[in-house]
Amino acid sequence: MKLAILSRAPRAYSTQRLRSAALDRGHEVKVLNTLRFAIDLSGDEPDLQYRGRPLSDYDAIVPRIGSSITYFGTAVVRQFEQMDVYTPNTAHGIANARDKLRATQILSRHNIGMPATAFVRNRADVRDAIERVGGAPVVIKLLEGTQGIGVILAPEVNVAEAIIETLHSTNQNVLIQRFVAESKGRDIRALVVGDRVVAAMRRRASGDEFRSNVHRGGAVESVELPKEFEEAAVRSAQIMGLRVAGVDMLESDQGPLVMEVNSSPGLEGIETATKLDVAGAIIDHISNQVAFPEIDVRQRLTVSTGYGVAELVVRGSADLVGMTLRESGLEERDITVLTMHRGTSVIPNPSRGLVLEPEDRLLCFGRLEEMRSMVPERRRRRAKVRKLPKQPISDPTT
Ligand SMILES: Nc1ncnc2c1ncn2[C@@H]1O[C@H](COP(=O)(O)OP(=O)(O)O)[C@@H](O)[C@H]1O
Ligand SMILES: [Mg+2]
């Protein structure tokens, strides 16, 4: 295949390793400076210029988008996606992972363990938020920090309040997060490629530092990952839509707590610690998947008027329980079941003989009109709206 590595650092360890792993495997490979692309929307088809000239055909890209160029970098990746060039990490995935709040929000509905986190903006809400995540000492994080910069441990509530207020006054958004003291300055970095962890290391902060980032002087060692850490890492990467990711987890008393999912993980630390060919695993994965460029399924499916995607839930009492998919009548109603979720397991393309159980969740594509009655009612959190009193506005003259 013909591969482009998008990077502003051609000499960096990670770029060099990816390049030589591709060459070793007989692929054609170029390192292209992300900032030298021009997105061209003038012609009939989405196109790209590189250094002022039309870009030649590539089969795949490896985006290595640094946090200082997220907006432009993801725009370039998105353009490659529009041109049906394979990328292990989509622009959407990269942008979501880059923002620590956004990533936490997305992961939070999928039963992934995470440190208790709060996000507020008004000064009046800060103290409550700190208490809600467990009080001082508390961790404060800039939304887009990397390498440990922008991660602060505040020893007392007053200090935390002062720091947060200062950051807010300079228009910076911050997360408030429980300090997971029992992790004792250590964390786990798992390198996910495709559906598995290909390498993992433990990082240990130096001295009385609590941040274990290699850039903060953290020491690394290879580690055999317990099953639950492996699952948490793979699922987090999948949920974020990243096929290559560095997942950071704390070892807490309640098991793995995912802190962040990095879309351009550095390779030097992990390859040195584990002596494993991570770059090679990434290239192998890409060459296996290159025929399947990412498709924004929802966007493509919803352009058929009257059709769309919905999740249907099999209700305990309803008549679907105990039926096979064939008997369920969905097919007759022009509804196709794409995947089925049962508990934490997923059954892709379920067979027509599959027997439905209560609480099965069916991800379906079909006629919206037909699916409307089957979509579960939204969970109500508030009481019903009450009737107006007889005299809605009290009369000041009485
Ligand atoms: N809630 C927390 N409790 C304890 N340690 C933490 C917590 N959050 C972060 N850390 C430490 O700080 C490091 C950096 O935090 P992280 O969220 O990964 O930011 P960055 O993007 O800068 O790496 C982590 O690797 C971990 O060692
Ligand atoms: Mg980190």
348 CB-near residues (< 8 Å, 6+ apart):
338, 339
- As given in the structure block, the two tokens for residue 236 are 């987090």
- pLDDT value, residue 359: 86
The phi and psi torsions of 78 (rounded to 5 degrees) equal -60, -35
Q: With bands split at pLDDT 50, 70 and 90, how would you rate the model's confidence at 109?
A: confident
Pick the atom of ligand 1 nearest to 218's CA: 27
Tens of pLDDT, residues 189-245: 999 999 999 999 999 999 889 999 888 889 999 999 999 999 999 999 999 999 999
Task: Please compute Rg for the chain using Cα positions.
Answer: 25
Distance of alpha carbon 26 from the chain centroid: 32
- pLDDT value, residue 386: 80
- Separation of CA 396 and ligand 2 centre (Å): 60
Pick the atom of ligand 1 nearest to 139's CA: 1
- Separation of CA 93 and ligand 2 centre (Å): 17
- Separation of CA 132 and ligand 2 centre (Å): 23
CA distance linking residue 355 with residue 331, whole number of Å: 15
Q: Which residue has the higher pLDDT, 387 or 25?
A: 25
- pLDDT value, residue 202: 95
The letter for the amino acid at 191 is L
- pLDDT value, residue 189: 97
Region 163-189: mean pLDDT is 94
List of domains in the chain: 2-97 (3.40.50.20), 116-179 (3.30.1490.20), 186-204+216-289 (3.30.470.20), 297-372 (3.30.70.1450)
Name the residue at shortest CA distance from atom 25 of ligand 1.
Answer: 212
Pocket around ligand 1 at a 6 A CB cut-off: 115, 139, 141, 145-148, 151, 177-180, 183, 187, 210-213, 248, 250, 259-260
For ligand 1, pick from 101, 142, 151 the residue to mutate: most ligand atoms within 8 Å of CB. Answer: 151
Pick the atom of ligand 1 nearest to 149's CA: 22
Name the residue at shortest CA distance from atom 24 of ligand 1.
Answer: 211
What pTM did the predictor assign? 0.84
CA distance linking residue 8 with residue 20, whole number of Å: 17
Q: With bands split at pLDDT 50, 70 and 90, how would you rate the model's confidence at 118?
A: very high
The letter for the amino acid at 75 is A
Strand order across the 174-178 sheet: 117-118, 174-178, 138-142, 151-154
For ligand 1, pick from 213, 214, 216, 263 the residue to mutate: most ligand atoms within 8 Å of CB. Answer: 213
For ligand 1, pick from 220, 259, 261 the residue to mutate: most ligand atoms within 8 Å of CB. Answer: 259
